[in-house]
């Protein structure tokens, strides 16, 4: 049996030193994680006989990935963000935190600080009038007994007809297709917007470059993102993925889940609009919070639009 160099006591000691185990400064938590990253990286290199060229290609790839701001996109595309949902679902099941609308990934394209409206709002800036299909979206925020939650915040964001998101797409106006809507006394939110198109990774970007090597596409179905929160209830991060989209169950980010498919109805000459109009109704059910932390979204670093910038 050949000895694995990476598993010898000597190399293990060496990585403990590299991870800061020989000093009292820094973060014990990060040291522990880093040691494991180093050990497991070494094991992968040795077990899979990763060549020097492969290794340095990967280092260069990380530089390019970060340079293009696509790290969050790659973790979604490799299914790691979905894995975090599955892990959190399993933890919840163990402690009996079940029921309500399923969670699904946030994705990398949220921007904090969207305009706040009471009960209803228009989300699009009119720049795609005549091109986009107008969409009337409405629903309620409910507890697990189906009772309405008034004063809940529905923070929602979606792409335009090109599949692009404002802020990241600088050709769009500030906060286009991003709003926070506070539910009314019946727990209801209403939005006039436009039917979004699915997102596709930049074909020239590093994420798609990796997906190409895996023989995979980088497309998402049309979808709408939500953060739902209310005092006393558990924060919910989720999405509605739109029925009829060819990528509905072939999402490169694995975000579509049972219970999160929105049925779009097309009607003619409704809501005072001539021609075809889309209607989408979707309600959310929240679990009760069991701690103050439960009410908050994760502390993932996010973009914040600076007004007027
Ligand atoms: C998106 O719009 C998205 O929702 C995810 C998860 C990844 C890339 C673009
Ligand atoms: Fe998205």
Distance separating alpha carbons of residues 287 and 144, to the nearest angstrom: 6
Q: What is the DSSP string of 5-74?
A: GGGSHHHHHHHHHHTTTTSS-S-HHHHHHHHHHHHHHHHHHHHTT--HHHHHHHHHHHHHHHHTT-HHHH
pLDDT per residue as tens digits for the range 189-231: 999 999 999 999 999 999 999 999 999 999 999 999 999 999 9
What confidence category does residue 179 fall into, taking pLDDT thresholds of 50, 70 and 90?
A: very high
Answer yes or no: pTM beyond 0.95.
Answer: yes
- Return the pLDDT at 2: 78
What confidence category does residue 308 fall into, taking pLDDT thresholds of 50, 70 and 90?
A: low
- Return the pLDDT at 305: 77
- Strands 116-118 and 276-281 turn out to be unpaired
* Alpha-carbon dihedral 178, 183, 188, 192, rounded to 10 degrees: -30
Protein residue with least CA distance to atom 5, ligand 1: 107
Atom of ligand 1 nearest to the CA of 159: 2
Q: Which of 220, 215, 281, 298 shows the shortest CA–CA distance to 256? A: 220
Neighbours of ion ligand 2 (CB under 5 A): 107
Protein residue with least CA distance to atom 2, ligand 1: 199
pLDDT per residue as tens digits for the range 36-90: 999 999 999 999 999 999 999 999 999 999 999 999 999 999 999 999 999 999 9
- Return the pLDDT at 3: 86
Contacts of 182 (CB under 8 A, 6+ apart): 116, 117, 118, 119, 151, 152, 153, 154, 189
Ligand 2 centroid–CA 288 distance in Å is 27
CB distance 82 to ligand 1 below 6 Å: no
In the predicted structure, residue 96 carries a pLDDT above the cut 80: yes
In the predicted structure, residue 13 carries a pLDDT above the cut 70: yes
Residues of the chain with CATH 2.60.130.10: 74-304
Q: Mutate which of 199, 224, 247 to test ligand 1's pocket (most atoms within 8 Å of Cβ)?
A: 199
What confidence category does residue 152 fall into, taking pLDDT thresholds of 50, 70 and 90?
A: very high
pLDDT per residue as tens digits for the range 245-301: 999 999 999 999 999 999 999 999 999 999 999 999 999 999 999 999 999 999 999
Ligand 1 centroid–CA 135 distance in Å is 20
- Given this structure, which CATH class describes domain 74-304? mainly beta
- Return the pLDDT at 177: 99
- Return the pLDDT at 301: 96
Cβ-contact 199, 241 below 8 angstroms: no
CB distance 136 to ligand 1 below 6 Å: no
**pLDDT above 90: percentage of residues in the chain:** 97
Q: How far is CA 132 from CA 49, 194, 221, 284, in A?
A: 52, 6, 17, 26
Q: 1 vs 173, which has greater pLDDT?
A: 173
Cβ-contact 6, 43 below 8 angstroms: yes
- Return the pLDDT at 284: 99
């Amino acid at each position: 049996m050949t000895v694995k160099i990476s598993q010898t006591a000597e190399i293990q000691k060496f990585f403990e030193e590299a991870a800061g185990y020989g000093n009292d400064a820094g973060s014990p938590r990060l040291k522990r994680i880093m040691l494991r990253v180093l050990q497991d990286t070494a094991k992968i290199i040795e077990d899979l006989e990763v060549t020097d060229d492969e290794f340095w290609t990967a280092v260069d790839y990380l530089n390019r990935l970060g340079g293009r701001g696509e790290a969050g996109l790659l973790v979604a595309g490799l299914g790691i963000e979905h894995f975090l949902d599955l892990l959190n679902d399993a933890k919840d099941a163990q402690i009996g935190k079940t029921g309500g609308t399923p969670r699904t990934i946030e994705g990398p394209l949220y921007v904090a600080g969207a305009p706040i409206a009471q009960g209803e709002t228009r989300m699009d800036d009119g720049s795609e009038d005549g091109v986009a299909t107008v969409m009337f979206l409405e629903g309620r925020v409910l507890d697990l007994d189906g009772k309405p939650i008034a004063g809940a915040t529905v923070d929602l964001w979606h792409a335009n007809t090109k599949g692009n998101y404002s802020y990241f797409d600088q050709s769009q106006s500030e906060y286009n297709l991003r709003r926070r809507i506070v539910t009314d006394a019946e727990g209801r939110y209403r939005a006039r917007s436009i039917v979004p198109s699915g997102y596709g990774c930049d074909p020239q970007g590093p994420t798609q470059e990796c997906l190409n090597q895996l023989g995979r596409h980088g497309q998402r179905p049309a979808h709408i993102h939500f953060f739902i929160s209310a005092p006393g209830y558990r924060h919910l991060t989720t999405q509605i993925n739109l029925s009829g989209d060819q990528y509905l169950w072939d999402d490169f980010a694995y975000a579509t889940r049972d219970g999160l498919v929105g049925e779009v109805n097309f009607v003619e000459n409704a809501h005072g609009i001539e021609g075809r109009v889309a209607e989408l109704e979707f309600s959310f059910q929240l679990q009760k919070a069991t701690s103050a932390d439960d009410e908050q979204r994760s502390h993932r670093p996010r973009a914040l639009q600076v007004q007027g910038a």
